[in-house]
Chains A and B, each alone.
Chain A
């Protein structure tokens, strides 16, 4: 076993373990942290596959932003663990069946027997100055610019949806302040200099 294979199996072992712990951990915060570990090790495996841009983006976006917000929410929630555990055993057979089915399907796909993957040539070795990032950027902004722009619109819709469904402005006498209005205030708005003649005793 060469070094790369060793690293691969090492990372995979961590990945599988962390993935399992995500669903078995009793504490949701622990589960979220294991998910972070899962992403991180997955990124490691991608680096091994020379997809360094995707790996770093995975860490940057999922670990650095998405999971932070996720953790934020999980920490704020008062999750009743007993309620969640209810019905675990009654759902287990169905869940196990679906899981098994997915495992079989994935093995069919990944096994590659049906896709003739054994015959497919491996990817050509990249030239020395090959930059994964540059290539991805070039493709995204040329060949795939149309779906790229569409994806940005989908994100925009997500943004609009989140705002329209959740943003509530309470008008009933709350003392909320508008920072923009506060910043805009000039001295003249608050203070009036009155010229008064000097008075004598």
Chain B
């Protein structure tokens, strides 16, 4: 990871093709990113299917984990969107499990963090916003545009308010994707830099005495990154619910 005396924290984010596949003129290679997305999918499937296979009244560890995941997301969806929002539960649950497991699996050494790529997080955020727009327009027609017009506004101010509301709405997918991407990117770069510090100190003769310090830093940082992994998955899920609530009940 350290080339010569240089600290290289970016190497972990390189997307390298594992199997070259060209369809038409498009490069659809199976990359290490694809591999880890498949691993995340398998982990989520394993957790839910095998976790609920036993169906015992007093759950074992795996079943308990699966039930906790379900309960957590279900209560979040019901709390923000109400019971009629439960039709979006499969989407929100899939997003939550994908983001959570990608974040967690990325903390294992030598893995690739799927959500540290802006393209992945933007795809997820675009999926959410498109669902909101399409569902809102199909169900409420032009009444959906009342989302941009808060009640009780003087007509003179209306154009400015509408413009600001539109910008605010368009900033939602940007903030949703950039928040997750920036958190994962920053966390992993910091971990790599601290690791490089340990290696550099060890190879610098006398300085090796203080090399346990960055090591302790890495341990504390990994604990922090665990918290951030859960937190970012939770924030992504709850904001998805809030935006879907806007599609279900437009107009404040």
The answer to whether A and B assemble together is no
